[in-house]
Amino acid sequence: MADAAEGSRRPTPTTTETGEGSRQQMPEALQLHGSDHPGMILVSTLLTKSNYLTWSYAIKRVLRAKMKLGFIDGTSLKPNAN
Protein backbone atom coordinates (compact mmCIF):
# COMPACT_ATOMS: atom_id res chain seq x y z
CA MET A 1 0.00 0.00 0.00
CA ALA A 2 2.62 2.53 -1.01
CA ASP A 3 1.77 6.07 -2.00
CA ALA A 4 3.02 7.30 -5.36
CA ALA A 5 4.43 10.40 -3.67
CA GLU A 6 6.09 8.36 -0.93
CA GLY A 7 8.99 7.23 -3.10
CA SER A 8 9.76 10.76 -4.26
CA ARG A 9 9.82 12.28 -0.78
CA ARG A 10 13.33 12.59 0.61
CA PRO A 11 14.23 13.77 4.12
CA THR A 12 15.60 17.29 4.26
CA PRO A 13 19.11 17.53 5.72
CA THR A 14 19.40 19.79 8.74
CA THR A 15 22.46 21.36 10.30
CA THR A 16 23.40 20.34 13.82
CA GLU A 17 26.15 21.51 16.17
CA THR A 18 28.82 18.99 17.10
CA GLY A 19 30.73 18.99 20.37
CA GLU A 20 33.73 20.72 18.79
CA GLY A 21 31.68 23.75 17.73
CA SER A 22 31.55 22.74 14.07
CA ARG A 23 28.37 22.13 12.12
CA GLN A 24 27.34 18.90 10.45
CA GLN A 25 24.51 18.19 8.00
CA MET A 26 22.34 15.27 9.09
CA PRO A 27 19.19 13.92 7.42
CA GLU A 28 16.10 14.60 9.51
CA ALA A 29 15.33 10.88 9.70
CA LEU A 30 18.52 10.37 11.74
CA GLN A 31 17.65 13.01 14.31
CA LEU A 32 15.92 12.13 17.55
CA HIS A 33 13.15 14.40 18.76
CA GLY A 34 11.81 14.82 22.26
CA SER A 35 8.99 12.40 21.52
CA ASP A 36 11.38 9.65 20.33
CA HIS A 37 12.18 7.31 23.20
CA PRO A 38 12.19 3.52 23.73
CA GLY A 39 9.09 3.49 25.94
CA MET A 40 6.89 5.39 23.52
CA ILE A 41 3.66 3.67 22.44
CA LEU A 42 3.47 4.08 18.67
CA VAL A 43 0.10 2.38 18.12
CA SER A 44 -2.67 1.40 20.49
CA THR A 45 -3.34 -1.86 18.62
CA LEU A 46 -1.43 -4.73 20.22
CA LEU A 47 -0.01 -7.29 17.82
CA THR A 48 -1.76 -10.67 18.08
CA LYS A 49 -1.93 -13.79 15.93
CA SER A 50 -5.07 -12.58 14.17
CA ASN A 51 -4.49 -8.84 13.56
CA TYR A 52 -1.13 -8.60 11.79
CA LEU A 53 -2.49 -6.69 8.77
CA THR A 54 -4.21 -4.07 10.94
CA TRP A 55 -1.18 -3.69 13.20
CA SER A 56 1.24 -3.57 10.26
CA TYR A 57 -0.74 -0.81 8.55
CA ALA A 58 -0.89 1.22 11.78
CA ILE A 59 2.82 0.89 12.62
CA LYS A 60 3.93 1.69 9.06
CA ARG A 61 1.72 4.75 9.04
CA VAL A 62 3.28 6.06 12.27
CA LEU A 63 6.85 5.31 11.18
CA ARG A 64 6.23 7.00 7.81
CA ALA A 65 4.90 10.11 9.57
CA LYS A 66 7.99 10.18 11.79
CA MET A 67 10.22 9.61 8.73
CA LYS A 68 11.61 6.41 10.31
CA LEU A 69 10.07 3.78 8.00
CA GLY A 70 13.28 3.56 5.97
CA PHE A 71 15.03 1.92 8.92
CA ILE A 72 12.53 -0.93 8.77
CA ASP A 73 12.08 -1.41 5.02
CA GLY A 74 15.75 -0.83 4.15
CA THR A 75 15.31 2.32 2.05
CA SER A 76 17.33 4.57 4.40
CA LEU A 77 20.87 5.11 3.21
CA LYS A 78 23.74 4.52 5.61
CA PRO A 79 25.34 7.87 6.58
CA ASN A 80 28.96 8.62 5.70
CA ALA A 81 31.53 7.69 8.36
CA ASN A 82 33.14 11.18 8.38
Tens digits of per-residue pLDDT, 22-72?
A: 556 666 667 777 777 788 888 998 999 999 999 999 999 999 988 888 888
Higher-pLDDT residue of 53 and 17 is 53
Any residues with CB less than 8 A from the CB of 21 and at least 6 apart, and which?
none
The pLDDT confidence band at residue 2, using thresholds 50, 70 and 90, is: very low
Look at 1 and 80; give whichever has higher pLDDT: 80
Give, in order, the Cα–Cα distances in Å from 41 to each of 44, 50, 80. Answer: 7, 20, 31
Where along the chain do its domains lie?
Answer: 13-73
